[in-house]
Amino acid sequence: MTEQLTKSEALAKGYRMCGRDNGNMWQGLCEIESLSQTDFDFNGWLVASTDLITPSIDEDYIKERVADMLSDEWSSETGDDTNEVFNLIKEVDFGPITKAIKEKLGDYGMYQLTTIRIVQDAQK
């Protein structure tokens, strides 16, 4: 059985965003606090994770792509068939640029929906 939380329980547990239970299609999220009776009448809702997933890239990936690109361009322009440009680029420290990219993208991301269903608080 799928876990269920009332709107109040979800908020108390620190969840703040949710989305429609529409089969994992991409969608914008809304705030749990803003869900109304009408929202519950027409949609099933799932809690969004509190963990922000951000775009990321690894230093070796950047290094490999830059080395490939520059050595290919150099080879095309000059006919040089050695791996010298590739090997020299592979010695470069791409750590600072990788860190700068991660910092720039640190607040940009998405929250994935969980399987936790939100139900309306009991009416009094």
Domain segments of the chain as ranges: 4-53+110-119, 59-105
In this structure, how many other beta carbons lie within 10 angstroms of the beta carbon of residue 38?
8
Strand-pair partners of 31? 17
Asked if 66 and 116 count as a contact pair (C-beta separation under 8 A), the reply is no
Query: Nearest-CA neighbor of 97 among 72, 73, 66, 69?
Result: 66
Lookup: tokens for 2: 């799928």
Phi and psi of 24, rounded to 5°?
65, 20
Please report which helix (H) or strand (E) contains residue 30, including its range: strand 30-31
* pLDDT on residue 13: 96
Look-up: residue for tokens 């590739």? 86
Lookup: tokens for 5: 């939380």
In this structure, how many other beta carbons lie within 10 angstroms of the beta carbon of residue 40?
15
Q: pLDDT of the chain along its 124 residues, tens only?
A: 679 999 999 999 999 999 988 876 677 899 999 998 888 887 789 999 999 899 989 999 999 999 999 999 999 999 888 999 999 999 999 999 999 999 999 889 888 999 999 998 876 5
